Amino acid sequence: MLQAATAFPRHDAPVSHADMANAIRALAMDAVQKANSGHPGMPMGMADVATVLFSRFLKFDPKTAAWPDRDRFVLSAGHGSMLLYALLYLTGYPDMTLDELKNFRQIGSRTAGHPEFGHAGGIETTTGPLGQGIATAVGMAMAERLLAAQFGKNVVDHYTYVIAGDGCLMEGISHEAVSMAGHLKLNKLIVLFDDNQISIDGPTSLSVSDDQIARFQASGWATIRVDGHDPEAVAAAIAAAQKSDRPSLIACRTVIGYGAPTKAGTAATHGSPLGPDEIKGAREKLGWPHAPFEIPETVLKAWRDVGIQGAAKKQAWDKALAALPAPQRAEWDRRIKGELPADFAKVMDDYKARLATEKPKWATRKASQMALEVINPAVPETIGGSADLTGSNNTKTAGLNPIKPGDFSGRYVYYGVREHGMAAAMNGIALHGGLIPYGGTFLVFTDYCRPSIRLSALMEQRVVYVMTHDSIGLGEDGPTHQPVEHLAALRAIPNLLVLRPADAVETAEAWQVALEQTHRPSVLALTRQDLPAVRTSHRKENLVAKGGYELIAADGAAKVTLLASGSEIAIAMTARDMLQKDGIPTRVVSMPSFELFDAQDVTYQEKVLGPGTVRVAIEAGVRQGWDRYLGIKGGFVGMSGFGASGPYEQLYKHFGITPEAVAQAAKQRL
Ligand SMILES: Cc1ncc(C[n+]2csc(CCOP(=O)(O)OP(=O)(O)O)c2C)c(N)n1
């Protein structure tokens, strides 16, 4: 049954729940109509639930949107972005003006088709790829618990709320996220499921018959089913969820497009403007006689009153923060600003100096662990982890204790075999602030977490992906495990740093670069197999930060430049020796990162690439991406198909990635 709003315009009339919810509905249908595109159904259906959440529970302060102890609200069903934009406008976030709502989905507006992190205060994460929101929220809820363990509940004590739809729960990533949250007993994570039984193709019965309640229960969640249009039932469920010792699912049975006279309850409201007649009918049915984008003063005031409720809580929190002992207070400020400890550069420099003397012949995955043994004690905000490959990724260092269900005093996450869930959770940890997540799996399985890696890049988050077993060099596990196209595919993602270091020193430098990126994720591509030390004299300067640099000059006027990354640097060095012996002066350029090299000035780039020399690149992956450095005469020695199972030394020979092949490729081009 529809709830009619109280009659308007009576300025002294109490504003009802229905009035407030109808303001959301009206803004959603009007903005979608004006843009002539968008999704009115979900905001109209979930307006009641969202009104209860925002007006009675959510801790937030629109004037200080980034208040670290705010509750997080994640709209996982990102297509319903107008729900969020309407709430931000109504509660008084300064970024979200009525004009922004009128410019819904237009270039340059804060009101993009799907919520985009950074566009406006109150948008906690970018959502739209279904399932990402709920999985990111798991990371946020983890971060809350971790920081509470580190700084105390006087300064860290908030909930993470999610609105997720059928689509989010159908996505595979939701399984990983739900399972992880249940295992870890993330009791301050509360998911409001928009259980409207409709998706794009029609009723969800076309494609799914899961018992979601049973499913979440099986993963250790508290569950309840409510009528999503009964505010008191929703409120009681949220109040109970707040007290639960486990994460909570509140399945809210709603009507998609609630209020639309002929289309409500159907897929027709999901993703298209309702049209003028239907909107007119909805206004009548809802008892909302106001013009498009017009919110009566009384209703707006009621919403703005909701918005100012948080200010007192924020002030109390300021006091609690000020009461922390001075060193802890300073540490908190540093963490929240995302600054590294003051002595970090020195710590790394000392470590590099040690490596230059010791010249260890480590696999770069081992070099990464050794770097982390130095980094983790010096940078207490790192949160490590691996998707069940801890011993292979070498991600766990001596001082890192695992986090356990209900115990978040540790700094290491056993993510389990959940690569996608891990990547999204790391986004949530980074977005939350105060922590720097890193996590590992095999490089080939970046495919399993690529949608979240893409979002790390889009949202400009400092997430470090520790991706080991980075080529055919992993050997016997064979082509299913040997990345071939992955470096190229990752390099194709804008704003993602791909770092493929060649030895222990470069690995230390790569870690330093990755941690220093405040607005960019990084992938460290690391070997399983041991590699010789190639950076054997100490340089204070971080050469990896240049992306490419001359590792060894030619003996004589250079005729050939060999470019390589990671494990293929060793091959390039041997090829250089061969060419030099044959009287061909040859230089070797290490190219640990295309993105960083491309950011150097052209004069530097040209100098490094060796003007007038024949260039050959060597990388145990596909050629794609290298050509821009090679020139028309350039050669490439690498992979052109899938790998094979066998000892790695034999595989390199089998696929012709050898010093001899490199030398020959150079000679052919002279
Ligand atoms: C990963 C992904 N796949 C597909 C889509 C396209 N898409 C957007 S909404 C939607 C249906 C979602 O259904 P539901 O969650 O029930 O939303 P509702 O219809 O209730 O608004 C689909 C398939 C998407 N946004 N993300």
Q: What is the mean pLDDT of the chain?
A: 97
Q: Which two tokens stand for residue 566?
A: 């990671």
For 480, other C-beta atoms within 10 Å of its C-beta total: 9
Could you tell me the pLDDT band of residue 9, with boundaries at 50, 70 and 90? Answer: very low
Q: Is 442 helix (H, G, I), strand (E, B) or coil?
A: strand
How many Å lie between the centroid of ligand 1 and the Cα of residue 117?
A: 19
Report pLDDT digits (tens) over 573-584.
Answer: 999 999 999 999
Q: Which atom of ligand 1 is nearest to the CA of 132?
A: 1
Q: Cα 20 to chain center, whole Å?
A: 33
Cis preceding-peptide flag for 296 (omega within 30 of 0): no
Spatial separation of the C-alpha atoms in residues 283 and 633, rounded to whole Å: 69
Could you tell me the pLDDT band of residue 510, with boundaries at 50, 70 and 90? Answer: very high
How many Å lie between the centroid of ligand 1 and the Cα of residue 165?
A: 8
Identify the residues whose C-beta falls under 6 Å from ligand 1: 41-42, 77, 79-80, 128-130, 165-168, 171, 194, 196, 198-200, 256, 270
Strand 160-165: give its sheet, edge to edge: 72-75, 160-165, 189-195, 248-253, 222-227
How much is the pLDDT for 578? Answer: 98
In this structure, the strands spanning 198-199 and 202-203 are antiparallel
How many Å lie between the centroid of ligand 1 and the Cα of residue 420?
A: 18
Q: Which residues fall within 8 angstroms of residue 436, CB to CB, at 6 or more apart?
A: 379, 381, 382, 383, 430, 462, 464, 515
Average pLDDT (204-220) is: 98
Could you tell me the pLDDT band of residue 8, with boundaries at 50, 70 and 90? Answer: very low
Average pLDDT (405-415) is: 97
How much is the pLDDT for 1? Answer: 41
How much is the pLDDT for 590? Answer: 98
Report pLDDT digits (tens) over 68-126.
Answer: 999 999 999 999 999 999 999 999 999 999 999 999 999 999 999 999 999 999 999 99
Q: Is 561 helix (H, G, I), strand (E, B) or coil?
A: strand
Could you tell me the pLDDT band of residue 12, with boundaries at 50, 70 and 90? Answer: low
For 404, other C-beta atoms within 10 Å of its C-beta total: 13
What's the distance, Cα to Cα, between the start and end of the chain in Å? Answer: 82
Report pLDDT digits (tens) over 314-341.
Answer: 999 999 999 999 999 999 999 999 999 9
Tally of helices (H runs) and strands (E runs) in the chain: 25, 18
Three-point CA angle 499, 516, 121, nearest 5°: 110
Report pLDDT digits (tens) over 612-654.
Answer: 999 999 999 999 999 999 998 899 999 999 999 999 999 999 9
Among 44, 130, 171, which residue has the most ligand 1 atoms within 8 Å of its CB, making it the best to mutate? 130
Among 44, 79, 205, which residue has the most ligand 1 atoms within 8 Å of its CB, making it the best to mutate? 79
Say what percent of the chain tops pLDDT 70. 98
Radius of gyration for the alpha carbons in the chain, expressed in angstroms and rounded: 28
Given 116, 171, 381, 419, the catalytic residue: 419
Q: Is the pLDDT of residue 33 over 70?
A: yes
pTM exceeding 0.75: yes
Report pLDDT digits (tens) over 546-596.
Answer: 999 999 999 999 999 999 999 999 999 999 999 999 999 999 999 999 999
Q: Which atom of ligand 1 is nearest to the CA of 165?
A: 15
In this structure, the strands spanning 560-564 and 614-619 are parallel
Q: Which atom of ligand 1 is nearest to the CA of 77?
A: 15
Spatial separation of the C-alpha atoms in residues 332 and 335, rounded to whole Å: 5
Could you tell me the pLDDT band of residue 4, with boundaries at 50, 70 and 90? Answer: very low
For 432, other C-beta atoms within 10 Å of its C-beta total: 26
How much is the pLDDT for 499? Answer: 99
Report pLDDT digits (tens) over 146-201.
Answer: 999 999 999 999 999 999 999 999 999 999 999 999 999 999 999 999 999 999 99
Could you tell me the pLDDT band of residue 14, with boundaries at 50, 70 and 90? Answer: confident
Q: SS3 for 173-227, per residue?
A: HHHHHHHHHHHHCCCCEEEEEEECCEECCEEHHHCCCCCHHHHHHHCCCEEEEEE
Spatial separation of the C-alpha atoms in residues 69 and 244, rounded to whole Å: 20
The residue count for the chain: 670
Report pLDDT digits (tens) over 369-404.
Answer: 999 999 999 999 999 999 999 999 999 999 899 999
Packing angle, helices 446-458 and 419-432, rounded to 10: 20
Q: Is 564 helix (H, G, I), strand (E, B) or coil?
A: strand
Could you tell me the pLDDT band of residue 7, with boundaries at 50, 70 and 90? Answer: very low
Higher pLDDT: 475 or 14? It is 475
How much is the pLDDT for 669? Answer: 97
- Residue (of 438, 503, 436, 508) closest to 467 by Cα position: 438
Q: Which two tokens stand for residue 203?
A: 């009723």
Among 162, 168, 199, which residue has the most ligand 1 atoms within 8 Å of its CB, making it the best to mutate? 199
Strand partners, 160: 72, 189
How many Å lie between the centroid of ligand 1 and the Cα of residue 130?
A: 6
How much is the pLDDT for 13? Answer: 62
Phi (first) and psi of residue 223, to 5 degrees: -135, 155
Closest CA to ligand 1's atom 8:
79
How many Å lie between the centroid of ligand 1 and the Cα of residue 214?
A: 22
Q: Which residue has the tokens 């992955």?
A: 486
In this structure, the strands spanning 560-564 and 586-590 are parallel
Spatial separation of the C-alpha atoms in residues 75 and 81, rounded to whole Å: 7
476 is catalytic: no
How many Å lie between the centroid of ligand 1 and the Cα of residue 270?
A: 9
Say what percent of the chain tops pLDDT 90. 97
Contact present, 409 and 401 (Cβ < 8 Å): yes
Spatial separation of the C-alpha atoms in residues 263 and 270, rounded to whole Å: 10
Contact present, 201 and 207 (Cβ < 8 Å): yes
Q: Which atom of ligand 1 is nearest to the CA of 200?
A: 11
Q: SS3 for 480-530, per residue?
A: CCCCCCHHHHHHCCCCCEEECCCCHHHHHHHHHHHHHCCCCCEEEECCCCE
